[in-house]
Amino acid sequence: MIEKSWWENAVFYELYVDKFSGNFQELSKKIDYFQKLGINCLHILPPFPSPMVDDGYDISDYLNIREDLGTLEDFKKFIEDAHKNGIKIMIDLVLNHVSEKHPWFINARSSKNSTYRNYFIWSDTGEELKDATNVFFHLKPNNWIKNEQTNDFYFTTFYAEQPDLNWDEPKILKEVTNAMDYWIELGIDAFRLDAAPHLVKKEGSNSVSLPETHIILKKLRFHLEIKNRKNIALLAEVNDTPEKTLEYFGQGDECHLVYHFPLTSKILLAAKNDTPHIIDELRISMTNVPKGCQWVTFLRNHDALIMPSLTLDEKKGMLEYGDPTSAYHFRINHGMSVRLATFFEKNPEKIKDAYRMLFSMPGSPVIYYGEEIGMKNDTTIDEQKDTRRYVRGVFNWTEATNQTNNTDSLFSFISNELKAKNRKI
C-alpha cells in the first residue's frame, strides 16, 4: 500500500491569530481545542508586519511577525508545540503584491533610477493593460494609481495600497524562494498561495490564469523538489471553474493542493433548496487529480462568497436568501460576506446538512474559525467599504467552552463527523 502525503488526509482550521487568541503565546494554549475538534493543520492567516489596510494581505516584511502577535521566537515555539501534538502549520505566501509601505516599494516609487524599480509595474500614461481584471472595482476606477514622486502610475489588482509585483523581473522569484526557505527553516509545513491566478499581466488579456503564471508555480514547486523538501505543500487559491482550477495541479508538478470554490456555492445552494443531488456531478469530477494531489474543500472562509459557478438566477436567489437586506453585499451584488449562521439564520439545521455534504466529498476540508460554534457576522462594526470584515470578528470563547462540553452542540456534531470521515480514509 502506497503511503499518502500528510496533506491528502489533512483537516484544516483557518484563523486570524489576533481574532482567535490575541497572540502566538496564547494560541499555543489552545492546541487541545483543535485536537478536540479533529484538526491536524492550522492555516494561519497573514501574521507578517503590515499596515493592515487589507487585514494583513498588504505585507511590509516577508521575514517577520507583527509585533502585536508576538516575536519570531514566540512563533517558533508555537510551531514546535503544534508539531508535538501532530498539527501541521500553513501560512500565506502573498505572491501578487506587497504593501505600499514595503521597503521595496518605498524605494521604487522614490526614483525611476531605483534598484527596486523593476520589482513593480509602471506606466507613464496609465493606459496599458486595459483588459486586466480590476478585482476591487468598487474601490478604485482602474488598476493604475498615480505616483506623485515620479509623476507616473503603478499597477494594482486589489487595493490601491497593494502594488503588484512584476514577475517578469527574475529577482522576484529569488526573493520569494528565499522567503519560503526562511519559513521552512522555522518549521512551516505548507504555504497558501494567495491570488495565484493574477501573478502575470499581459497586454490584450484579462491577466488571469495566463500560461506564464503556471510556469512560475512550476518553478516554486521545483525549488522545493531540488531542496528535497517533499513534505512541504503548496495550496493555490483559485476561484474559477472546476476545469480551469484543475490546471493548477499541473501534471503533479505545480500545486499539491487547490481550493474547490465551485463546490462551496453548490453545497450551500443544495442545503438551501434541499437538493443534495446537485453535487453528485462534482463528486465524480473531483477524483481526476494527479497522484499525490488533493482538493481543499470548504463552506466559508475569510473572503466573500462570490458564487461564479452558479447561474444568475441561482445567484440572485442565494443573495436574497442569505443577505435579504443587502447589508453584507460585496462588490455591488457580486457576492456577499456572510458566515454560515448568518446565511442560514432562518433555518440553522441546514448548517449541519451543508457539513454532511462537505464531509461526504473527496478532498481535505477546512473549518473557518468560529463556524464550528455557529458564530454569526460581527454586527458591531459599520463597514461600508469592505464587507468581508463582517466575517472576521473576535472568536467567542464563552460559546466555544459551552459547546465543547455539550454533546448536542454544533461543535460536537462537526467533531464527530470529522472523526467518521477520517475513519473512512
Helix (H) or strand (E) holding 145: strand 144-147
Cβ neighbours of residue 367 under 8 Å, at least 6 residues apart? 11, 12, 13, 14, 37, 39, 298, 414
Could you give the residue numbers annotated as active site?
194, 237
Dig out the grid coordinates for 113 from the structure: 533610477
CA distances from 15 to 20, 45, 67, 69, 283 (A): 7, 6, 18, 13, 27
Q: For 54, which DSSP code?
A: T
Cell 451543508 locates to: 354
- What count of other Cβ atoms lies within 10 Å of the Cβ of residue 312? 7
Q: Report residue 236: phi and psi, to 5°.
A: -95, 130
Cβ neighbours of residue 322 under 8 Å, at least 6 residues apart? 268, 272, 305, 336, 338, 342, 343, 344
Tell which phi-psi region holds residue 333, choosing left (phi > 0), alpha (psi between -120 and 50) or beta. left
Say how far residue 226 (Cα) sits from the centre of its chain.
Answer: 26
Any idea what the Cα angle at residue 142 is, between residues 303 and 166, rounded to 5°?
80
Q: Measured between alpha carbons, how far is 228 from 226 in angstroms, rounded to an integer?
A: 5
